[in-house]
Amino acid sequence: MIGDAGPRGRSDGLQPRSSSLDQVSAVFALDLSGARVYVAPLEIDYRRQRPSSMQPLGLRNRELSSGDRARLQEVMEQAFAERFLGRRGGRLTPDSRTADYTLRLRLDNFYLPAPLEQTTRLRQVFSESVAYGTLAGTLYDRQGNAVLQFRDRREFGGTLAGAGGERLQRFSPPAFWADMRMDIRRIFDSLDQSLR
């Protein structure tokens, strides 16, 4: 939960910020100029479909492959560096031991309506919903204290919704990745604006 740093450290001093994101809080006058930030491996909590779902059994409860997780990690890191950290004079580091801060990201209640494998048969499928999830992030200093937290729910692939009130919606891997990349950039754009 945002506002609770949990076992990794304290979240004292975090102040709510006005934002277009669902929730943002940060310490006063957060300065990342010259800071080295390590982005920890993305954590994902998947939503499980109801047994009554119309989704074919073979497409239920899909999870990202190791390759797709690595790709998503890259999308997150690139967007964070370009749309937030770089604008504040900081830079990424691949080594947690040399980092001034650590960013931990978690994708909660993540629902993937269909596989992302690029095959002709599965390139486009119809499902009850587009992909969606809530991205939560916490930035920790070297002492393990939370200095920034944010949370925002997004849909990925929403531009492919069926017309005319159709129950099933179209889902394709290329659209998922394009929409995911765009939305993650928007999240970090908004986060940057929230701290100005």
Q: Tell whether the model's pLDDT for residue 1 goes beyond 50.
A: no
Residue 8 in this model has a pLDDT that exceeds 80: no
Among 61-75, 133-147, 156-170, whose mean pLDDT is lowest?
156-170
* Separation CA 196–CA 184 (nearest Å): 19
On the question of pLDDT at 80 being above 70, the answer is yes
Residues 33, 189, 76, 43: is their CA dihedral positive or negative?
positive
127-145 average pLDDT score: 89
Residue 56 to residues 46, 63, 181, Cα–Cα distance (Å): 18, 15, 27
Please determine, for residue 179, whether its predicted confidence score (pLDDT) is greater than 90: no
- Strand, helix or coil for residue 196: coil
Whether the per-residue pLDDT at 166 is higher than 80: the answer is no
Q: Tell me what percent of the residues of the chain surpass a pLDDT of 70.
A: 72
Question: So what's the pLDDT on residue 27?
Answer: 96
At 14, is the pLDDT very low, low, confident or very high (cuts 50, 70, 90)?
A: very high
Q: How confident is the model at residue 11 (pLDDT cuts 50, 70, 90)?
A: low
Q: Where are the domains of the chain?
A: 6-194
Whether 119 shows a pLDDT value over 70: the answer reads: no
Task: Judge whether residue 5 has pLDDT over 50.
Answer: no
Query: Global pTM?
Result: 0.81
Residue 60 has pLDDT above 90, yes or no: no
More confident residue, 32 or 124: 32
The architecture CATH gives domain 6-194: 2-Layer Sandwich (3.30)
Q: What pLDDT, on a 0 to 100 scale, did the predictor assign at position 62?
A: 77
d(CA 147, CA 12): 9
Question: Residue 96 carries which DSSP code?
Answer: G
